[in-house]
Structure 1
Amino acid sequence: MDYTCLFLFSVCLFGGCVASPPNFVLLFADDLGFGDLGCYGHPTSLTPNLDRLAAGGLRFTDFYATSPVCSPSRASLLTGRYQTRSGIYPGVLYPGSVGGLPLNETTIAEVLKPLGYATAAVGKWHLGFGANGMFLPTKQGFDQYLGIPYSHDMGPCWNLTCFPPDVKCFGLCDVGTVTVPLMHNEVIKQQPVNFLDLERAYSDFATNFITTSAKKKQPFFLYYPSHHTHYPQYAGPRAAGQSLRGPFGDALFEFDNTIGNLLTTLEETGVINNTLVFFTSDNGPELMRMSRGGNAGPLKCGKGTTYEGGMREPAIAYWPGTIRPGVTHEMASTLDILPTIASLAGAKLPQVMLDGVDMTQILVSQGMSKRETMMFYPTDPSEMYGLFALRLGKYKAHFYTRGATHSGTTPDHDCPVFAVLKSHDPPLLFNLESDPSENYPLPLIGRPDLQDVLDTIKKVKEQFEATMVFGESQISKGTDPNLEPCCNPQCSPKPSCCQC
């Protein structure tokens, strides 16, 4: 079926055909757990705007990222491909990383550009900076960018203010690195960044982009990967002290406020009924930070692990008049966002191996998912070990398990880094519908039906791994301090002189 016809059919189905292509607003939280939002059951989170999206849109219960850490998860979101294909592994990119998301990878922005879309990114990029900023969003299909090109803890933060009037940031962060820069397109606007004003700057940039695009009657794609709620949490005067949840809750509330500003702008410019707003997170909570690290709800472990708490995320799709309010238990993933946007916009898919599937039927009719499986790679995937886990339908099999530093401090002994790598033969098998906490491995003795399930999972794993061609590891290319962004590139001594 022609993609354009499919889109027109979808929106006409719910009343009111539109002549112009749809707009897309993609919201991506950082280190947010499955149990962190009010609409997902947290008793003290203050998230009225996200709760409004959930009440008026479609809330997912079985939505997955592709990695339990930042950079690889973001690569998969923007390309519709597992991070192993693009080479964004092992771990994450750093300020001085030589590599980055390869320029021959096709992002969502690059899919939409041929159709005349205005594209903008605001917030945390974390897909590389590189020599002369060669991996920045403006080199990957985005017309405009305002943000920090990596994680905001990747720089000395102990003497910076995270909460008013002058509450210093929690923890040490990275020392011996340049202070965190705020970039506009390819130019450093501020170094070090002022955390108290950062979210307001993001909100103003994003709302202006929407307003300008709407006035021009130009379809747009806004990608907003927030720094909230990654450590160290921060919040400006309007959010600090407003939640019952302390610094983490205040940071989440500030993020929610920006989302509210975006929704108001969509309404005031008259484009809200022609805009898909999609929200999710990059990976699970950093439990080692305890009350300041997020909450995985009923799910096991968190960031850094291939248990559900590390990779199952809250997700909400909102599109008034097109998406009916409800809850879906269908399986979906960040991988599916690129093919879905391409389908709805009538864009051509990249001519490469994609791992995502089109979610349109889930969104417009709460239909069945085309996704039957989800693959779980660790933070350091390798061809020798392959997949750590695989979900098929309601069943999940763990071939390897391992804890992570990010998931320390919890009472569950399977979560911290002291839970060393274990191989499981036969694999641990869980029914995620009855046991989403992965507490009770299913007994295989006397259960030929479960043995059949496991045999099928093994075949699917074998078939998938036969198609997986690992791209050259971009992170293994190493780092060069001279590549760290500095607003005074000729100054000395670095990094202390990099201030403006």
Structure 2
Amino acid sequence: MDFPVFTCFVFCLFYICSASPPNFVLFFADDLGFGDLGCYGHPSSLTPNLDRLAAGGLRFTDFYCTSPVCSPSRASLLTGRYQTRSGIFPGVFYPGSIGGLPLNETTIAEVLKPLGYATAAVGKWHLGYGANGTFLPTKQGFDQYLGIPYSHDQGPCHNLTCFPPDVKCFGWCDIGAVTVPLVHNDSIKQQPVNFLDLERAYRDFATNFIITSAKKKQPFFLYYPSHHTHYPLYAGTGAAGRSLRGPFGDSLFEFDSTIGNLMATLEGMGMINNTLVFFTSDNGPELMRMSRGGNSGLLKCGKGTTYEGGMREPAIAFWPGVIKPGVTHEMASTLDILPTIASLAGAKLPPVVLDGFDMTDVLFQNGKSKREVMMFYPTDPTEKLGLFALRLGKYKAHFYTRGATHSATTPDPDCPGIAVLKAHDPPLIFDLEADPSERYPLPLEGRPDIQAVVAQIEAVKVQFEATMVFGESQISKGVNPDLEPCCTPRCSPKPTCCHC
């Protein structure tokens, strides 16, 4: 197969001349906060493998997702487009959701497929299931898939085992839906899923994919959206009880161990020096779970909010011999991953409006980011309200603020759901370099310099919103219980009979 000359140029540019196109491994944690990893300052998290990636790679301090909840954030990651364009709002998909990520949206996998890449997804999809699996990863450019097609709390869990030997899951999860299925490609392999064995199954699947691709000498893209550390927390025998942090720490350690295993596989197959590994998370921590939820560190609030704790994430890029170890304070986003991968592979970009930028200057040359602005949409964006917040350079302006149930239990009164929607005119403005915790709004009176910043931000907002075309809401299409995945589809009574 023929690969673009650009690929060899990129490798020669960074002192690794090779005719082989690069591989890509993308790890995506779930509900992980800015302060949850050891390398981001948590004193009791056990994350030795991620800490090693951070020590040997590039650690981001100003990296953002696009939504403080799962489905829209995942849509943006895979398409390089704000979720408003693809219609992945309001909220998230459910087991019986009628809609899904539109098939005319182009994912990273579909960008790479024309170049002969093998593609696989393992873990949490959460971009729709649909009639007969219409919206599964295998319909969106992935050759293979093993995982739960939505969030693993979207089904009853009170009688399931989450920790060995037989420690039941904490909480009840969603009642009235089918038990959570494990799907292989487009078929249900197990229902309900066995949490104690789930991470091993994922690890084995991902390991086999890497080994098979290496033996075929075929470039590959592995997308690993983990369920860790979303509620309900779980961990198998190799991780349970290992962390000082309790169930959350054990869950995180299990994912970290899988990352270590897959890195060892890349090294053992001789692929480590030809693979870009990227790690980040979908949104901030679910603070309402208290010690069983994540930690946003010094950032304000968490999941469900457009404060920094809801949308600024840990992020690590690792590529031995290509990415120099260090820390970058340049602004970047999950939106930037698709254009970056396309640039490195020499792939064509989709012929649509993209909101991401190529990060290669940041990754390889410690250069400046092309991203100057980050937009913040709430979980339920509307054209009438528009953006809730906007970051320009080091300044962030809040046009609206609102708490979220996901961020309850914190002492900050701005975080829980009882903190109702407030409009701010002029906007609240913060200097995120001096005040990343968003505690001290900058005064406008007597500060012509800050007034000028606000005017510039408002001009950028007007310009952006004038060009934003909202896609048809896929989540508003509603839910049909008959679409809930069931391994015995004609059984009765549902949902309890869906068991295999």
**TM-score interval, smaller chain:** over 0.9
Shift of 1:5: 5.6
Shift of 1:6: 5.3
**Alignment match, 2:418:** 418
Aligned residue for 2:496, secondary structure, equals coil
Whether 2:219 is the aligned partner of 1:219: answer yes
Whether 2:74 is the aligned partner of 1:81: answer no
Structure 1 unaligned segments of length 5 or more: list them.
Answer: none
Q: Distance in 2 between matches of 1:171 and 1:469?
A: 40
Instruction: State whether residues 228 and 252 of structure 1, in contact with CA within 8 Å, keep that contact through their aligned partners in structure 2.
Output: yes
Instruction: State whether residues 10 and 322 of structure 1, in contact with CA within 8 Å, keep that contact through their aligned partners in structure 2.
Output: no
Q: Distance in 2 between matches of 1:51 and 1:66?
A: 25
Q: Distance in 2 between matches of 1:41 and 1:10?
A: 34
Whether 2:291 is the aligned partner of 1:291: answer yes
Whether 2:455 is the aligned partner of 1:458: answer no
TM-score scaled by length of structure 2? 0.99
Q: Distance in 2 between matches of 1:465 and 1:4?
A: 36
1:83-232 equivalences under 5 Å are 83-232=83-232
Shift of 1:249: 0.1
Shift of 1:18: 1.3
Shift of 1:14: 3.5
1:342-353 equivalences under 5 Å are 342-353=342-353
**Alignment match, 2:482:** 482
**Alignment match, 1:324:** 324
Instruction: State whether residues 4 and 343 of structure 1, in contact with CA within 8 Å, keep that contact through their aligned partners in structure 2.
Output: no
Whether 2:305 is the aligned partner of 1:305: answer yes
Instruction: State whether residues 71 and 93 of structure 1, in contact with CA within 8 Å, keep that contact through their aligned partners in structure 2.
Output: yes
Aligned residue for 1:329, secondary structure, equals strand
1:445 maps to amino acid: E
- Percent of aligned positions with the same letter in both sequences? 83
Q: Distance in 1 between matches of 2:182 and 2:469?
A: 36
Q: Distance in 1 between matches of 2:353 and 2:127?
A: 20
Whether 2:46 is the aligned partner of 1:46: answer yes
Shift of 1:11: 2.8
1:337 maps to amino acid: I
1:266-415 equivalences under 5 Å are 266-415=266-415
1:158 maps to amino acid: H
Q: Distance in 1 between matches of 2:408 and 2:12?
A: 50
Instruction: State whether residues 22 and 345 of structure 2, in contact with CA within 8 Å, keep that contact through their aligned partners in structure 1.
Output: yes
Aligned residue for 1:208, secondary structure, equals helix
What does the per-residue CA deviation read over 1:268-327, in whole Å, with 9 as the maximum and x for residues that have no partner? 000110000000000000000001110000000000000000000000000001100000
Aligned residue for 2:84, secondary structure, equals helix
Q: Distance in 1 between matches of 2:7 and 2:323?
A: 13
**Alignment match, 2:445:** 445
1:103 maps to amino acid: L
Shift of 1:405: 0.1
What does the per-residue CA deviation read over 1:225-260, in whole Å, with 9 as the maximum and x for residues that have no partner? 000000000000000000000000000000000000
Instruction: State whether residues 324 and 364 of structure 1, in contact with CA within 8 Å, keep that contact through their aligned partners in structure 2.
Output: yes
What does the per-residue CA deviation read over 1:382-439, in whole Å, with 9 as the maximum and x for residues that have no partner? 0000000000000000000000000000000000001000000110000000000000
Aligned residue for 1:399, secondary structure, equals strand
Shift of 1:188: 0.3
2:429 maps to amino acid: L
Shift of 1:35: 0.2
Instruction: State whether residues 211 and 269 of structure 1, in contact with CA within 8 Å, keep that contact through their aligned partners in structure 2.
Output: yes
What does the per-residue CA deviation read over 1:346-400, in whole Å, with 9 as the maximum and x for residues that have no partner? 0000000000000011011110000000000000000000000000000000000
Q: Distance in 2 between matches of 1:242 and 1:184?
A: 30
Aligned residue for 2:100, secondary structure, equals coil
Instruction: State whether residues 7 and 19 of structure 2, in contact with CA within 8 Å, keep that contact through their aligned partners in structure 1.
Output: no
Shift of 1:7: 4.4
What does the per-residue CA deviation read over 1:78-110, in whole Å, with 9 as the maximum and x for residues that have no partner? 000000000000000000000000000000000
1:43 maps to amino acid: P
**Alignment match, 1:499:** 499
Q: Distance in 2 between matches of 1:98 and 1:452?
A: 46
What does the per-residue CA deviation read over 1:437-477, in whole Å, with 9 as the maximum and x for residues that have no partner? 00000000000010000000000000000110000000000
Instruction: State whether residues 8 and 21 of structure 2, in contact with CA within 8 Å, keep that contact through their aligned partners in structure 1.
Output: no
Q: Distance in 1 between matches of 2:8 and 2:20?
A: 10
Q: Distance in 2 between matches of 1:108 and 1:245?
A: 35
Q: Distance in 2 between matches of 1:127 and 1:14?
A: 36
Aligned residue for 1:72, secondary structure, equals helix
**Alignment match, 1:255:** 255
Instruction: State whether residues 86 and 472 of structure 1, in contact with CA within 8 Å, keep that contact through their aligned partners in structure 2.
Output: yes
What does the per-residue CA deviation read over 1:14-46, in whole Å, with 9 as the maximum and x for residues that have no partner? 322111100000000000000000000000000
- Structure 1 stretches of 4+ with a deviation exceeding 2 A read 3-16
Instruction: State whether residues 113 and 119 of structure 1, in contact with CA within 8 Å, keep that contact through their aligned partners in structure 2.
Output: yes
2:399 maps to amino acid: F
Instruction: State whether residues 35 and 297 of structure 1, in contact with CA within 8 Å, keep that contact through their aligned partners in structure 2.
Output: yes
**Alignment match, 1:434:** 434
**Number of residue equivalences:** 498
